[in-house]
Amino acid sequence: MKKLIFTFFIVGLGFAAFAQQDAQYTQFMFNKLAYNSGYAGSGETACISCLYRNQWVGVTGAPQTAVLNFDTPLFKRKVGMGVNIVYDQIGVEQRLKASLMYAYRLKLGDEGSLGIGVRATLWNYRVKFSELDATEVNDTEIPVGNPNSFAPNFGVGIYYSTDKFYVGVSVPHLLETDIDFSDNGGSATVEVLSTLDRHYFIMGGAIFRISEKVQLHPNLLVKYVPNSPFDMDVNANFVFFKKLWVGATYRLGGSSQRGFGESIDAVLQYQFNPQFKIGIAYDYTLSDLTNYNSGSYEAMVHYCFNYQDRKLTNPRFF
């Protein structure tokens, strides 16, 4: 376990070795603001959501992520504003990301709405070297202290939606920022260069009516980081009575040797009323880690304000 903690620490700092750095979410279709600033203000009213993800349960030092989203339309829905806060921990590495988003919204046709968004983000990286448990006593090669590093960034996003489908393209952080920890004030000195690579996301989804009481809601998320493996989530949800969502997702990636993908995921959501819904998800690991963990879990809560004032009676799918 001690070696595994240190391994996750090295993986966390080794993001420059061509891996996806942004946290992943099984309920990505309900967490669009985390990916795309153009989504800000796309609803009829202000909404807030919270999401918690515990990945690879049973593995010491595995990723844990907490997300807070808030967005609202302004000026007769011509402008959208949003806030996204993400806390992510992998081993002894902690990352806090706070983003402020602005989207200019255009009406396209009778049903379509286009959001062109920008975001300003401040990243905070912290590594708790003091929590590392050395296999050799007084190992001077392991740094000490808990250094911090701050990195500003900005991103862009485009999001188009109608009552029947949506599509979005985004780059949440454009700057390939270098983060350097050095001379942390202890008996050891560490110089770790970690580059925040540029991430590209393409998302899309649609709603199809099967019967009066059942609808099909497929979703797709393509994730691309230069010099890293291609990654994609393919999802399909059935919506019963416009309240109960039951679906599954297949996530590419994982081991290049097994070749089965990263995970198969189950998604369950219930819409109590047009304002309030909750969702849970479970990932069954398909990669080589399947023998060392009991899966990944997500929980989400979403609430929208002033629905009664706006006389809205139906929940939004997008």
pLDDT digit string, tens, across residues 17-54:
334 578 899 999 999 999 999 999 998 899 999 999 99
Q: What is the chain's alpha carbon radius of gyration, rounded to the nearest angstrom?
A: 21
Q: Which residues contact 121 (CB under 8 A, 6 or more apart)?
A: 97, 98, 99, 100, 152, 153, 154, 155, 172, 173
The domain locations on the chain are: 2-304
Residue 31's pLDDT is what? 95
Binned at pLDDT 50, 70 and 90, residue 113 comes out as: very high
- Check: CB of residue 125 under 8 Å from CB of residue 178: no
Please say if the pLDDT value at position 257 is more than 80.
no
Q: Which residues contact 312 (CB under 8 A, 6 or more apart)?
A: 44, 45, 274
- Neighbouring CB atoms inside 10 A of 4's CB total 14
Tell me the CATH number for domain 2-304.
2.40.160.40
More confident residue, 129 or 113: 113
Please say if the pLDDT value at position 163 is more than 80.
yes
Render pLDDT for 190-244 as a digit per residue (tens, 0 to 9): 444 567 788 999 999 999 999 999 999 999 999 998 877 788 999 999 999 999 9
